[in-house]
Amino acid sequence: MNRVATILIVFAMTVTAVSVAVVLAVQFAFPPGQAIASGASVLFALALLHVQIERRRDRRWMEARVSEIAAVAGDVNTEVGRVAAKLAKVDATLPAHVREETEPLVAEVEVLGHLMKQIADTLADFEIRVDEQMGEIAAKGDTPRLSGPPQAPSVQTRLEPREERSAERQGEPIGDSPFSVHPPVRPEPIRAAEPARIPTAFEREVEAAIRAERIEIHLQPIVTLPQRKVRYYEVLTRLRAADERLIAAAEFLPAAEARRLIARLDTYQVIRSFQILKRLTARNREIGLTVNISPLSLVDTGFYREFSAFLNQNRSMADLVQFEFTQAAVREMGPLEAESLAALADIGYRFSVDTVTDLRMDFRGLVDQGFRTVKISVDRLLGRAPMITGDIHPADLSGHLQRQGIALVVDRIETEAQVVDLLDYDVRLAQGFLFSAPRQVRPEILGAAPAADAAKSKAAGR
C-alpha cells in the first residue's frame, strides 16, 4: 500500500510540474527553456517537501515507539525493585527464623553430648578402678576360683567375644570376681580366669608424658613448586619420654586414645600452634599452618566448647589455619562431627584431608564442608604404592582438584628424582624430607605468651 501511494504522489508531482511549464509557456509566453526549468524547479520543490513530511512522520512514529518501550522498561524496573525488596526482607528474616527453628535441636544435642560425656567419664573411672583392683590381684598372685558363672557381680572383666562364648559352652567363669556365686548344675574342671587388661608400660609412659606436658612441637614446611617457597607449616607433635627418647605421633596416638587423653593433647597442640602462628605472621602474613586434631575431640563436649570459643577469639587468623584429618577419619565422621566442622567453617577455618589412598571421593562435597587441601604420598601418586584411582587418572588429579577448589599437596618427597617425575602432574605444593625435616620449635618461642599459657591451663584443667 505504501508503495502504490508513493507512485501516485510522484506521478501527481510530475503532472503538476508539467502543467506549470505548459501554463508558463502558453499563457505567459515564457520561452520553452525557461518554462521547462520552472517546471523542473517546481518538481524539485514538491519532492523536497514530500521528503521532509515523510521524515517528520517517521520521527513521530519512532518517538512513539521509544515512549512505549520506556514505559515497559519502567514497569519492569518497578517489578524488579519489588522482587529485590522481597528478597532483602527474606534475607533479613531467614537467619533469625532458622535460628529459632534450630536452637531447640542444638540445645538437645548439647545436652545429649553432655550426658554422653558424663557416661564416658563414669565408665572410664569404673574401668580404672577395675584395672587397679585386677592389678592388685595379679600382683598378689591370688587367682580366684569360681564354681560357676556369676550372677550380677558388681565388677566383672570384659572378655573377647570368642573367649566369652567358649567359656559359656564349657561352664567356665567369664570374669574375675571375689564374690561368692551359686554352683552350676554340672560342675566342670575349673580354670583360672584371665585377669583384666591393665595398661601396658608404654601406655603408662605416654600418659605420664602427656600429663607432665613433655610435648614437643615440630614444624615441617609445605613448599610451592617449582619455586620451593614456604607456603604452610605442618604442626607435628612428639612426646619426650622419661629417658629423653622421642615418641612419634603414630606410636603414641593409640595409647593416648586408650587412656582418653586425646582432648588434653589437642588442647595443648592447638594453643601452641596459634602462639607459633602469631610469631610467623609478624614477619610474613602469607604463611599458614596445618594442625592435626583427632575426630574424637570434635564430639568431646567440654573440649569443643572451649575449642570453638578459642578459635572464635582468633578468627582474624582463620584464613591461615587448616585442621587436618586422615581420609579414614573423614569417612567415619557422623552427624555430630559434621556439625562441629560446619560450625568451624562458619567462623572461617578450613580443613585438609591427609593419607589419601582412595580417589573415589566426593570432592565437591568436601569443598562444601570446608576442605581446601588433599594430601597424597608421592609413591601413591606415581603408582609405586597401591592406591584406588577410580575414574581419575593420577596425572589429571591436580587439575581436577583445582577445578573443584581444592589444592593438591604431595608429601613424603625425599629425592630430586621424585620432583622430576612430578613435573608432568602439575603439582604446585609439596612436602617431604627433601625440602626440610620436621624441626622442633624452640622452647623460648613457646614460652613467650603468658596469655596463651593461662588459657591452656584453664582448658587442660577440665
Answer whether residue 176 is part of any domain. Answer: no
Are residues 80 and 228 located together in one domain of the fold? no
Q: Is residue 353 very low, low, confident or very high in pLDDT (cuts 50, 70, 90)?
A: very high
Answer whether residue 119 is part of any domain. Answer: no
Residue-wise pLDDT tens digits, 34-91: 888 888 888 888 888 888 888 888 889 998 989 889 889 888 988 898 898 888 888 8
Are residues 440 and 316 located together in one domain of the fold? yes
Answer whether residue 320 is part of any domain. Answer: yes
State the total domains in the chain: 2
Look at residues 82, 113, 144 and tell me which one is the last residue of a structural domain. 113
Are residues 209 and 331 located together in one domain of the fold? yes
Are residues 345 and 454 located together in one domain of the fold? yes
CA 64 to mean position of chain CA atoms: 58
Are residues 368 and 242 located together in one domain of the fold? yes
Q: At residue 124, does pLDDT exceed 90?
A: no
452 near 274, Cβ under 8 Å? yes
Closest to 367 in 3D by CA, of 318, 329, 411, 400: 400
Answer whether residue 174 is part of any domain. Answer: no
Q: At residue 128, does pLDDT exceed 80?
A: no
Most confident of 27-36, 109-118, 136-145: 27-36
pLDDT value of position 169 = 37
Range of the domain at 71: 1-113
Are residues 314 and 456 located together in one domain of the fold? yes
Q: What CATH number is associated with residue 439?
A: 3.20.20.450
Look at residues 113, 131, 149 and tell me which one is the last residue of a structural domain. 113
Q: What is the mean pLDDT of residues 96-108?
A: 77
Look at residues 113, 130, 159 and tell me which one is the last residue of a structural domain. 113
Are residues 258 and 357 located together in one domain of the fold? yes
Answer whether residue 44 is part of any domain. Answer: yes
Are residues 99 and 207 located together in one domain of the fold? no
pLDDT value of position 222 = 96
Q: Please give the Cα distance from 57 to 124 (Å, whole number).
A: 96
Closest to 325 in 3D by CA, of 350, 347, 302, 305: 350
Answer whether residue 421 is part of any domain. Answer: yes
In this prediction, what percent of the chain has a pLDDT beyond 90?
Answer: 41
Q: Which residues of 94-104 are buried (b: 16+ CB within 10 A; e: fewer)?
A: eeeeeeeeeee
Are residues 211 and 102 located together in one domain of the fold? no
Answer whether residue 181 is part of any domain. Answer: no
Answer whether residue 150 is part of any domain. Answer: no
Q: Is residue 311 very low, low, confident or very high in pLDDT (cuts 50, 70, 90)?
A: very high
Break the chain down into helix, strand, coil percent, rounded to 5. Answer: 60, 15, 30
